[in-house]
Chain A
Amino acid sequence: EVQLVESGGGLVQPGRSLKLSCVASGFTFNNYWMTWIRQAPGKGLEWVASITNTGGSTYYPDSVKGRFTISRDNAKSTLYLQMNSLRSEDTATYYCTRGPTRFDYWGQGVMVTVSS
């Protein structure tokens, strides 16, 4: 059974950093691109970052480019999202998903709250 389990969320002050993790199981992790998608409270979905199966290439929208870094450790079947210079508008539930598109599996999400 495919599982994606996120962790690392919490309350953080504006300007500070946080690192999310997503442990994958039930599939060959290093065969798949992975993506982070977020959802602000009561709002819609936003694509945040994607990474190729090897980790050799990464992709971001302008809203997080230069502040967020997606990475992966294929030996540990783990996806990461390093978030720096956090802003209030980064407050959201962050989902780990499988794929560059056609997101067929999603984690349960982890909440990040940016507030002083």
Chain B
Amino acid sequence: DVVLTQTPVAQPVTLGDQASISCRSSQSLVHSNGNTYLEWYLQKPGQSPQLLIYKVSNRFSGVPDRFIGSGSGSDFTLKISRVEPEDLGVYYCFQATHDPFTFGSGTKLEIK
């Protein structure tokens, strides 16, 4: 199975600053069709997860442009600029290139 390693486990951040989360895959996430199925989800406290980014860098409808996904192959990053209180929670990366689909173990974005 593909293992997604997220770092850091916890990211203390000052509101208004930038945060960066890494997601590294145990193998390339480039599908045979040329697409890279790497997604990012945010789970706010007490809520269901919500989709932020799909296919590495595509923001889902309504997601602020402060959220930027990037990367290729097996190395991916989510950057959140000008962190706001509603951005706090646990961020998960997810791959749907290889069966079985797998999630990273999560990165908790918290106030410093």
Report whether B48 and A47 are in contact in the complex, using a CB–CB cutoff of 8 Å. Answer: no
Task: Confirm or deny: A107 has a beta carbon within 8 angstroms of a beta carbon on chain B.
Answer: yes
Main secondary structure of the interface of A (DSSP, over half): loop
Could you say which residues of chain B place their CB within 8 Å of the CB of A100? 96
Instruction: With both chains docked as a complex, state the minimum distance between the C-beta of A69 and any C-beta of chain B, in angstroms.
Output: 16
| Cβ-defined contact, B102 with A102, below 8 A | no
Contact status B50-A106, CB under 8 Å: yes
**B residues contacting the other copy or chain, number (CB 8 A):** 24
**Mask: chain A, 12-51; 1 = CB below 8 Å from B; 0 = not:** 0000000000000000000000000100000011110000
Q: How far is the CA of A86 from the CA of B19 in the complex (A)?
A: 40
Contact B101 A47 (CB under 8 A): yes
Residue of B nearest to A101 (CB): B96
Chain A residues bordering chain B, tally (CB within 8 A)? 19
- The interface residues of chain B lying within 8 Å CB-to-CB of A1 are none
Residues on A with beta carbons closer than 8 Å to the beta carbon of B100: 47, 60-62
User: What's the Cα separation between A46 and B106 when bound, in Å?
Assistant: 12
Assess whether B94 is in contact with A109, with CB atoms less than 8 Å apart: no
Which of chain B's residues have a CB closer than 8 A to the CB of A37? 49
Contact of A45 among B50, B61, B94 (CB under 8 A): B94
Instruction: Tell me, in angstroms, the Cα distance from A60 to B100 when the chains sit together.
Output: 7
Given contacts A100-B96, A106-B49, A109-B48, contact A44 B106 (CB under 8 A): yes
Residues of A near B102 (CB, < 8 A) are 47
Indicate whether A108 reaches chain B with its CB closer than 8 angstroms: yes
* Contact residues in B for A103 (Cβ distance below 8 Å): 39, 41, 49, 51
Contact of B48 among A46, A59, A61, A95 (CB under 8 A): A95
Contacts from B to A (Cβ < 8 Å): 1, 37, 39, 41, 43, 48-51, 54-55, 60-61, 92, 94, 96, 99-106
Which A positions have Cβ atoms within 8 angstroms of B? 37, 44-47, 59-62, 95, 100-104, 106-109
